[in-house]
Structure 1
Amino acid sequence: MIQTRTTPAAKLWRTISIVALTLVLAGCGTAESGSGPGSDQVSTEEFLSEHGLDRMAVTDRPNDLMASVYPDELVLAGEAQEVTIDLPEEKAYVSIAPYVDTTHDCFYYSLTTCRGELGNEELDVKITDSATGELVVDDRVTAFDNGFAGFWVPSDIEGTIDITHEGKSGSVDFSTGEDGATCITGLRLA
Structure 2
Amino acid sequence: MKKYLVVALLAGLILTLFAVNKTNKQDNIAAFLENLNIQYSSNEALIKYLEYDNKTDDSLQAQIYPDKLILSDQKTEVETSLKDSQFYLSFAPFINETHPCTFHVPTGCQGEMPNQQFFVTIRNLKTNELIYNDLVTTADNGFAGLWLPRNIEASIEVMASGLSSKQTISTYNDDPTCLTTLNLI
TM-score (norm 1): 0.74
RMSD: 2.2
Counterpart in the other structure of 2:112: 117
Deviation string for 1:150-176 (max 9, x for gaps)?
A: 000001111111000111000111111
In structure 2, distance between residues paired with 1:140 and 1:130: 21
Q: CA deviation at 1:61?
A: 5.8
Q: CA deviation at 1:13?
A: 3.8
Identity percentage of aligned residues:
34
Counterpart in the other structure of 1:22: 42
Q: CA deviation at 1:12?
A: 9.4
> Structure 1 counterpart of 2:121, which letter?
K
Count how many residue pairs are aligned between Structure 1 and Structure 2.
Answer: 154
TM-score (norm 2): 0.76
Q: 1:55 to 1:133 in 2, by over 3 A?
A: same
Q: CA deviation at 1:65?
A: 2.0
In structure 1, distance between residues paired with 2:180 and 2:73: 25
1:55 to 46, 52, 55: 52
In structure 2, distance between residues paired with 1:12 and 1:105: 32
Q: 1:61 to 1:131 in 2, by over 3 A?
A: farther
Counterpart in the other structure of 1:30: none
User: When you count helix as a share of all residues, which structure comes out higher?
Assistant: 2
Secondary structure (helix, strand or coil) at the match of 1:164 reads strand
Moved >3 Å (runs of 4+): 10-14, 60-63
Which ranges of structure 2 fall in alignment gaps of 5 or more residues?
1-32
Structure with greater Cα Rg: 2
Q: 1:13 to 1:183 in 2, by over 3 A?
A: farther
1:78 to 66, 73, 80: 73
Q: 1:115 to 1:131 in 2, by over 3 A?
A: same
In structure 1, distance between residues paired with 2:52 and 2:59: 18
